[in-house]
Structure 1
Amino acid sequence: MSLSHSLPIPDDPHDAAAFWFARVRGGLMQEGDQTLLNTWREQDPRHAQAYQDMEAMWSIAQATPDTAFKARLAQKSHPQASRWGRRSFIASLGAACAAAAGVAILGPQRWLESEQFTQRYVSRKGERLEQSLPDGSLISLNTDSAVYVSFYRSERRVVLEKGEAFFQVRSEAERPFNVDAGQTLIRVTGTRFNVRRDVEAVDVAVESGSVHVESGPWWNSAHYDLVGQQGLHLGNDRLASVQSRNMVQALAWRQGRAVFDAEPLERIVTELNRYNEPGIVLHSPSLRGLRITGVFNVNDPQAFLDVLPSLAPVLVVQGPDGRWGIAAL
């Protein structure tokens, strides 16, 4: 679904309901958004029910003092009190929904803060883009990537819509820096780290400092803590563990290189095709698992194709459509 505000709608009905409800209550609806909201509610009975539940929660929250919300948010990570009161539950649920929607709910009288800075940055295929932010932080975008940056008084937020980005975050203890990559949220104060968002996976690698990662729907999320030289790969199965990471390899793209250590040829072709058109095609299925080691210029696939026959028994031929095909000898 295309949105006028360029922000992705969460896939989960409850997260999406929080997204829409926050925009309606926060006065952020743009031209055409009401039609999109109506269409979304009519698409699935679960959508309508989720939005109705959000309205019911708001009705209860209106009678809840701000002090109850703030108290619950302050003890949100505290292991005590397994049985919550009604007000604490509403506050916690509201905070979780807000995170999914990309906003902060502090109480019924103040749903959203005013944005101090907003900007969307996009890199074309084969392009690398580096951008300084108003707080002194730096974002570097890899090929075919897009981010939406929003600064508030209490939060700095970046939505990684697609692709890959390296962040050098200036520390501000009172204003954390959050990166939203679908159902994965990375929280930091000051650090250097890389995030890649593919269609079905998110990869986080920390060069220095530390980050906290939350993954999954807000009612059943997994939590991970990473420090320098550690990484985390999150796929659909959500089975993940923090592991040591070769940061030279992970950040080679910033110098326009790709480093492969006994990687399957299929993965290497997929990676190089991120940067170039018309691309490379594997004609022989038997070559998919062939492992190759090397350092290649991502913007010069011809150099890779020229050296490949000396590394493996393959034939490289250019087709009439301009794509290069790799076949087994």
Structure 2
Amino acid sequence: MSMENKIKEQAIYWITCEKEGLSESQKKELESWLRKNLHHQKIYNRMKFIHQMPNSLSKENTQKLSQEVHQSLSKSKLSFKVKSYYASAAAIVLILLFSLFRVYDENSLKYEKNYLTKIQNITAQSLPDGSIISLDAKTKLDIKFYKNRREAFLSNGKVMFNVQKDKSRPFIINSDNIKIEVVGTKFEVINSNNKTTINVKEGKVKTYSFNNLGKKVNTRLLTRAEGIIYLNQGKIYKYLKPNPNKIAIWENNLINFNQLTLKQALAEFSKYYDYTFDFSHKEIENYIITGEFSTNQLDIFLKTIKKIYPIKIEKKNMFIKISKKTEN
């Protein structure tokens, strides 16, 4: 056994004794041991810090820590030839503490930021790893970076990700039960109407969900100009072939409608305004709309659809009613 490991065992022995309560003679013996060598003091302080660390772990990591430590111990064949009970106990405690320290370090939060946009988008937000994100209006996104991974949690809305490449730390986006895993690429994620849409502008993206047993299912690898829609429960709803030049055009304050209903089109506009829309008939809601508009062109949009369909539009304060032209 190396000299440093012997000192570590001695340090753990004294820390264990401290926890149980030192007698006066033991206190003097510990003080003498610490003064004997500066290295003793350094290792003692380090071991004490590691020993106290589990008390500071968050509840959400406790189960994971326990599982990983037990896995680590079950895979190791421990064979210690020691002269005393304390030396044997110290060696085992040392392994436990270092296992806890490794798992704690991997799962300790290094960076966190929460985004919540209202009626305006925000673009080109830089993250500490060099990644850049843009958020559409009415979007909620939480970012959390750990030592071994980068995570984003999209509750609703649209986000364009330009992920900085880092093979040691994959970037994982969580959108309800859907996960998108990347190393470095450009792609858009939309969480809306109980569906998650992924559109890839550059690079590759792996998407998947988890079943009730916690197993990965519906895994797909998407490349440039490919897209997919998942139901937020995890099932694949539809495959897409998006035009890369039309992905996340909301970054430039544009909205593109491709065979959307009037209700869907106005729902998009409503993210940028405080208007409430009311339709007098279901038929009007389902009028089909195709075209591209600026997010600040609601009035132009309303004038345009009046020319296409027999409707009238009444504005009162922040309320807009759309009805058939023949109605009184």
Instruction: Tell me if the contact between 1:205 and 1:231 (Cα under 8 Å) persists in the aligned partners.
Output: yes
In structure 2, C-alpha distance between the alignment counterparts of 1:199 and 1:272, rounded to whole Å: 15
Q: Counterpart of 1:196 in 2: which secondary structure? A: strand
CA gap of 1:64–1:135, structure 2 versus 1, over 3 A, is closer
In structure 2, C-alpha distance between the alignment counterparts of 1:200 and 1:172, rounded to whole Å: 31
CA gap of 1:210–1:263, structure 2 versus 1, over 3 A, is same
- Residue 247, structure 1, aligned to residue 244, structure 2: yes
- Residue 64, structure 1, aligned to residue 60, structure 2: no
**CA shift digits 1:109-151 (9 cap, x unpaired):** 6255222211112222233343101111101011011221122
Instruction: Tell me if the contact between 1:171 and 1:190 (Cα under 8 Å) persists in the aligned partners.
Output: yes
Aligned residues: 245
Residues 250-269 of structure 1 mapped to structure 2, 5 A cutoff? 250-269=247-266
Partner of 1:144: 138
Partner of 2:58: 28
Partner of 1:169: 163
**CA shift digits 1:10-55 (9 cap, x unpaired):** xxxxxxxxxxxxxx997225xxx9xxxxxxxxxxxxxxxxxxxx97
TM-score (norm 1): 0.66
Q: Please, which runs of 5 or more residues in structure 1 have no aligned partner?
A: 1-23, 34-53, 70-105
- The structure 1 residue matched to 2:112, chosen from 103, 108, 118, is 118
Instruction: Tell me if the contact between 2:172 and 2:180 (Cα under 8 Å) persists in the aligned partners.
Output: yes
Q: Taking every aligned residue pair, what percent have the same amino acid on both sides? A: 21
Q: Counterpart of 1:270 in 2: which secondary structure? A: helix
- The structure 2 residue matched to 1:278, chosen from 271, 275, 281, is 275
Q: Counterpart of 1:240 in 2: which secondary structure? A: strand
Q: What is the Cα deviation at residue 246 of structure 1?
A: 2.4
Greater share of strand = 2
TM-score (norm 2): 0.66
- Residue 203, structure 1, aligned to residue 197, structure 2: yes
Residues 31-180 of structure 1 mapped to structure 2, 5 A cutoff? 63-65=70-72, 68=75, 110=103, 112-180=106-174
Q: Please, which runs of 5 or more residues in structure 2 have no aligned partner?
A: 1-53, 77-98
Which stretch shifts more, 231-240 or 163-172? Answer: 231-240
**CA shift digits 1:234-258 (9 cap, x unpaired):** 1257233433112333322111111
Letter of the 1:261 partner, please give it.
N
Letter of the 2:246 partner, please give it.
Q
Q: What is the Cα deviation at residue 60 of structure 1?
A: 7.0
Partner of 2:324: 328
CA gap of 1:124–1:236, structure 2 versus 1, over 3 A, is closer
Q: Give the alignment's Cα RMSD to 1 decimal.
A: 2.9
